[in-house]
Structure 1
Amino acid sequence: MKYNKIVLAGGNGYLGGVLAEYYRPLANEVIILSRKNKAAHGNIQTVLWDGCTKGEWIKSLDGADLLINLCGKNVNCRYTEENKAGIINSRIVPTALLGTVIAGMDIPPKLWINVTSATIYRHAEDRPQDEETGEIGYGFSIDVCRQWEETFFNTNTPRTRKIALRMGIVLGRKDAAFPRLLNLVKCGLGGKQGDGQQYVAWVHEQDAAKCTEWLMNHEKLDGVINCTAPEPVKNAQLMSIIRDAYGLPFGLPAPAWLLEIGAEIIGTETELILKSRWVLPKRLLDSGYPFLFSKAEHAVKDLLSIRT
């Protein structure tokens, strides 16, 4: 096997599952740090941690090739004061804890990737945002990302390379954005949302996983890196692509005022739908990363072809 140990902190969610399955044939051990215990699945095992305190889990980090931190409360909720505190603390506290632990280790992980969010950039319809020329936005979700990355980079870990991976919206088969969008299409509601001109910074689940291995093997890369497909699409275009691939030529649109009502009913925020995320993965492209899925049409067809 190529790698000795891959550790996924907070890896019991959807993306953690994708990463665990990706690395299962490539590593001797894949360790998931989780609050909930699970039986071992081949070389994938779960080690208990609470994300707040030191414990036996620290041994799991010894000599790891890669640590990926995925901790964070789901932002798909109303931004009440209680939820805001939960969103912030669930990111800041585990990140600070990992930094403190890694700083004191004799054989720390070689690479620590903190999966953050491409939503840190401003609403952009005028030009794309990349790692070099992108502009940071304003508002609660951006403040979360800013604090998160500051906590990550302010910890001194001289023997561990660090990357803040600003992830776009992951298109995957299970428990991600794509099944929800597909359900809208199936119900005849798969038209544009708002004016449909907002960009969607998306990435296929396999590229979200594969690029972490690329980063592991390209040791000159560190700092902030965008993880989005190189060809973002507008909301209206994405919904049209999904409709066409599924075989439904028409879908009712959802104007912004209706989205406001719907968001309040289902307990989410319209920002998740209406913000224009025009983000490009300049550093990945400059390093030569070969995207498996650059075009949304191909990504959607792939996801539909092997859905279960």
Structure 2
Amino acid sequence: MNILITGATGLIGRALIELWQGQHQLFILSRSAEKARESLGIDADYQQSLDDLDFNQLDAVVNLAGEPIADKRWSESQKQKICQSRWQLTEALAEKIQRSTTPPKVLISGSAIGFYGRQGHEPVTEDHHSFYPEFSHDICARWENLAQRAASPQTRVCLLRTGIVLSPSGGALAKMLPLFKLGLGGPIGDGKQFMSWIHLDDMVRLIDFLVQRDDLSGPFNATAPRAVDNKQFSQLLAERFGKKAPFRVPAFMLRLAFGEMADLLLFGQNVQPKRLLENGFKFNYAHLKEALNALQF
């Protein structure tokens, strides 16, 4: 297959390339084609502009690009950067697909469980229609709507509502590791907020699954089937290093440090991958303990 990947140098993109290298002809879109070529070190077609790509020759598009949401405090300018880095490219991709005579068969487009906003302890599936109105929901709702514009009888659109991706190479877990390795980690706030997670290997496997399943479209919760609360997560991560998790980070300290962005850590969702399970996807890592044990730290 001819597959275009945006966000290829990110955590998920790199793992996806590792899975697909040698199986498919990969097209990499990056703001700097040369830097991407040096960083990835694989034989692929590197492009800096969508105008240099013939969408009639593509079989699939995987859209993973976007400014990291939790790297910086949410100033108004940073919020705009987070939004526009997702919205502008997704809108452009949908337009290119719409205008193609023989468009790609599938667009796999990123989203996040932030789509649901903060929720309680009750399981949240793709059928859930009660959303807490906050920044994370606003980002994802428009992001998904723009991606859906590519949908047609020729092109199906799958939306990845992704949870916390477990990998020592990047993402939220990589930021937690230094403290937990030293035995200084612990729950955040009251520790009761749910954390919906997924092992990186399962993340790329489910993308491959959705690319190959011609009968599937719409939103999919990219999370393992057993979410845990923050206290459990902290305890299991500490145990992975033979430590305890005795320290608790008070909510007010997070708010002082991160402002509005602290809400990502203080509130959560018990998100369940209902549609993936119903359609036969098998998770290699359904339990957090086995997922953490499988990671190479």
The TM-score, its normalising length taken from structure 1, stands at 0.89
Residues 244/195 of structure 1: CA separation in 2 closer, same or farther (3 Å cut)? same
Alignment of 1:1-308 (within 5 A): 4-27=1-24, 29-38=25-34, 39=37, 41-49=41-49, 54-56=50-52, 58-59=53-54, 61-76=55-70, 77-263=72-258, 269-303=261-295, 306-307=296-297
SS in 2 for 1:116: strand
Residue 189 of structure 1 contacts residue 253 of structure 1 at CA under 8 Å; is this kept in 2?
Answer: no
Residue 121 of structure 2 contacts residue 269 of structure 2 at CA under 8 Å; is this kept in 1?
Answer: no
> In 2, distance between residues paired with 1:156 and 1:288?
23
Residues 194/30 of structure 1: CA separation in 2 closer, same or farther (3 Å cut)? same
Greater shift after overlay, 245-254 or 34-43? 34-43
Residue 185 of structure 2 contacts residue 238 of structure 2 at CA under 8 Å; is this kept in 1?
Answer: yes
SS in 2 for 1:68: strand
Count of matched residue pairs: 292
Q: Deviations over 1:120-151 (max 9, x none)?
A: 11322231110113522211111111111111
Q: Displacement of 1:45 after TM fit?
A: 4.0
Residues 251/5 of structure 1: CA separation in 2 closer, same or farther (3 Å cut)? farther
Unpaired runs of 5+ in structure 2? none
Residue 129 of structure 1 contacts residue 135 of structure 1 at CA under 8 Å; is this kept in 2?
Answer: no
SS in 2 for 1:79: coil
Q: Displacement of 1:263 after TM fit?
A: 2.5
Q: Displacement of 1:12 after TM fit?
A: 2.1
Q: Displacement of 1:168 after TM fit?
A: 0.8
Residue 191 of structure 2 contacts residue 230 of structure 2 at CA under 8 Å; is this kept in 1?
Answer: yes
SS in 2 for 1:150: helix
Residue 196 of structure 1 contacts residue 234 of structure 1 at CA under 8 Å; is this kept in 2?
Answer: yes
> In 2, distance between residues paired with 1:198 and 1:96?
33
> In 2, distance between residues paired with 1:71 and 1:11?
8
Amino acid at match of 1:297: K
Q: Displacement of 1:156 after TM fit?
A: 4.9
Amino acid at match of 1:66: A
The TM-score, its normalising length taken from structure 2, stands at 0.92
> In 2, distance between residues paired with 1:127 and 1:118?
14
Q: Deviations over 1:167-203 (max 9, x none)?
A: 1111112122112122121233211111100000111
